[in-house]
Chain A
């Protein structure tokens, strides 16, 4: 019997992984949380929407179209499970839920392409209604044709900051300011690495031109002070300190916030993958070899969920991980193809390092967050409370601090507070970030409805 390979995620990595598996004569199962393929970056708009590829994806229109067409061609040769959440990974089986139906699916090989979401640093007032992640602001526009407000401030750092701002401007939305915590000098320092992919660098520079033409105020080297607002009405303004020390307040009704991306690693964790602290990224990541093999036999990791290198890299990493799985199953794979992918990926790895230099994670802000700042939005736990459990309870490790403070225990399960929370703990305990450790993954990886029924396949087989 042919091997069962499950691919989690139908973004750039997942689609290319599935394609390589089909080419090898396998019929993979592709499980995706979304209703439609494309992942976040190449997210498809709902049926009946009329915007063109050029309007939706700009310079990436051809790539988006190619990925969607590749997936459409795969449909007859795969088992696609949209609107389906993998909520747990057991040895050689995943547990999934779709609507209110659950089932278990066995696998011989599992390729996890779980993608990434915004890496966030809190700022006083970010709990006010109208503060969104940068990625969220982009999804609202791309997938729903909406701006998150009538006057939007984009704040943080990373390529997404300028991309989303430019996309909003082109769509006719009002961007009141782009406030970047990184500096021009940092960008210059990154130039040699960014030249690894000159075409992408050029696209980034073109975004600046769009913002300049639209006369969007851009400030670099800023320090966020506050998202000013009220509990009832939400966001009203953003206050920052400029590079020269002057205070700036920009009136707005929405803020998009983000500091580049963070891999979604919960499923790799539940699969039992080993994690290591990555000093360059200042975060814990699952260990994988060049081709995406984790330390767990039969489990492969690809795309931004394994390591943030962007969509182009994800397409290649997805294919490469599938080739590794094919080879490990005992089938033949094209070594020339794999070699070519490895060479290409090394350029993306260099470029990604350049992005980290150009748009660094502002770890230093964690130490100076005022005590009353909410760190955990889910349960409104403040920086002061987190510092208290470090001081009074001696909780210098992430899981212990979570148990005492509840930071990371809420409904997002630490996705948007764990990184900053760890920085707050490290600064308060005066220990390196690595020593704080990481929050253990917990099943279910997202909240499930209490009333679940077995899928009909399970009812008949049991």
Chain B
């Protein structure tokens, strides 16, 4: 799947692997989780109110529209969380294994 965000600068950084919904993807050193996810796919989460997929809005930690979950069930705000090598992130809770139990 192609991404939503387009890298236009700083393209020479070291890359590392993360896992998104069980699938391997590449992130670059210095990426926020939001950028790491949205350069690999088009969105971040399901709206809980049935209006579709969401991909964040304010990108500055104010709107909370970019919450995603780690495989351990921890909630993280993607736009202010640095991407770290080996992170495993869930963006489709409904399809996640039963072991992913979101904590508030």
Contact present for B59 and A380 (CB under 8 Å): no
Roughly how many angstroms separate A447 CA and B54 CA in the complex, as a whole number? Answer: 19
Q: Is A47 close to B, CB under 8 A?
A: yes
Nearest A residue to B51 by beta-carbon distance? A380
Contact present for A130 and B104 (CB under 8 Å): no
Q: Which of A368-407 contact B (CB under 8 A)?
A: 374, 377-380
Contact present for A416 and B58 (CB under 8 Å): yes
Contact present for A129 and B54 (CB under 8 Å): yes
Q: Is B97 close to A, CB under 8 A?
A: no
Roughly how many angstroms separate A447 CA and B12 CA in the complex, as a whole number? Answer: 35
Roughly how many angstroms separate A449 CA and B10 CA in the complex, as a whole number? Answer: 33
Contact present for A145 and B8 (CB under 8 Å): yes
For chain A, give the interface size range.
35 or more
Nearest B residue to A257 by beta-carbon distance? B57
Given contacts A132-B59, A380-B47, contact A127 B35 (CB under 8 A): no
Q: Which of A150-194 contact B (CB under 8 A)?
A: 150, 171-173
B42 to chain A, nearest CB (A): 6
Contact present for B59 and A137 (CB under 8 Å): yes
Q: Is A362 close to B, CB under 8 A?
A: no
Q: Which of B13-65 contact A (CB under 8 A)?
A: 13, 29-32, 35, 38-39, 42-44, 47-65
Interface 1/0 per residue, B57-79 and A, CB below 8 Å: 11111111101000000010001
Contact present for B63 and A145 (CB under 8 Å): no
Given contacts A129-B42, A130-B55, A232-B53, contact A48 B4 (CB under 8 A): no
Contact present for B51 and A412 (CB under 8 Å): no
Q: Is A226 close to B, CB under 8 A?
A: no
Number of A-B contacts (CB under 8 A): 153
Roughly how many angstroms separate A253 CA and B56 CA in the complex, as a whole number? Answer: 14
Contact present for B55 and A136 (CB under 8 Å): no
Nearest B residue to A50 by beta-carbon distance? B10
Roughly how many angstroms separate A171 CA and B7 CA in the complex, as a whole number? Answer: 10
Roughly how many angstroms separate A130 CA and B36 CA in the complex, as a whole number? Answer: 16
A214 to chain B, nearest CB (A): 14
Q: Is A146 close to B, CB under 8 A?
A: yes
A278 to chain B, nearest CB (A): 21
Q: Which residues of B contact A127 (CB under 8 A)?
A: 47, 51-52, 54
Nearest A residue to B14 by beta-carbon distance? A48
Contact present for A133 and B59 (CB under 8 Å): yes
Q: Which residues of B contact A449 (CB under 8 A)?
A: 75, 104
Given contacts A129-B43, A145-B9, A146-B8, contact A416 B60 (CB under 8 A): no
Q: Is A141 close to B, CB under 8 A?
A: yes
B19 to chain A, nearest CB (A): 21
Cross-chain contact of B8 among A141, A264, A450 (Cβ < 8 A):
A141
Interface secondary structure of A, over-half rule: loop
Q: Is A267 close to B, CB under 8 A?
A: no
Q: Is A364 close to B, CB under 8 A?
A: no
Roughly how many angstroms separate A454 CA and B7 CA in the complex, as a whole number? Answer: 40
B59 to chain A, nearest CB (A): 3
Roughly how many angstroms separate A149 CA and B6 CA in the complex, as a whole number? Answer: 6
Contact present for B8 and A48 (CB under 8 Å): no
Roughly how many angstroms separate A229 CA and B50 CA in the complex, as a whole number? Answer: 15
Q: Which of B5, B32, B52, B57 has the most CB of A within 10 A?
A: B57
Q: Which of A54-106 contact B (CB under 8 A)?
A: 55
Q: Which of A231, A379, A451 has the most CB of B within 10 A?
A: A231
Roughly how many angstroms separate A234 CA and B45 CA in the complex, as a whole number? Answer: 12
Roughly how many angstroms separate A149 CA and B7 CA in the complex, as a whole number? Answer: 9
Roughly how many angstroms separate A118 CA and B63 CA in the complex, as a whole number? Answer: 11
Q: Which residues of B contact A8 (CB under 8 A)?
A: none
Contact present for A118 and B32 (CB under 8 Å): no
Q: Which residues of B contact A253 (CB under 8 A)?
A: 4
Roughly how many angstroms separate A209 CA and B42 CA in the complex, as a whole number? Answer: 33
**Cross-chain pairs A/B with CB under 8 angstroms, 13 sampled:** A33-B61, A51-B10, A129-B55, A137-B59, A140-B35, A149-B6, A150-B6, A234-B43, A234-B53, A380-B49, A412-B64, A446-B62, A450-B103
* With A171-B9, A446-B62 already in contact, 10 other A-B pairs whose C-beta atoms are closer than 8 Å: A131-B57, A136-B59, A144-B5, A145-B11, A149-B4, A172-B8, A173-B6, A230-B52, A379-B49, A416-B58
B-side interface residues toward A, CB under 8 Å?
A: 4-13, 29-32, 35, 38-39, 42-44, 47-65, 67, 75, 79-80, 82, 103-104
A-side interface residues toward B, CB under 8 Å?
A: 33-34, 40, 45-51, 55, 117-118, 127-133, 135-137, 139-141, 143-150, 171-173, 230-234, 253-254, 264, 374, 377-380, 411-412, 415-416, 446-447, 449-451
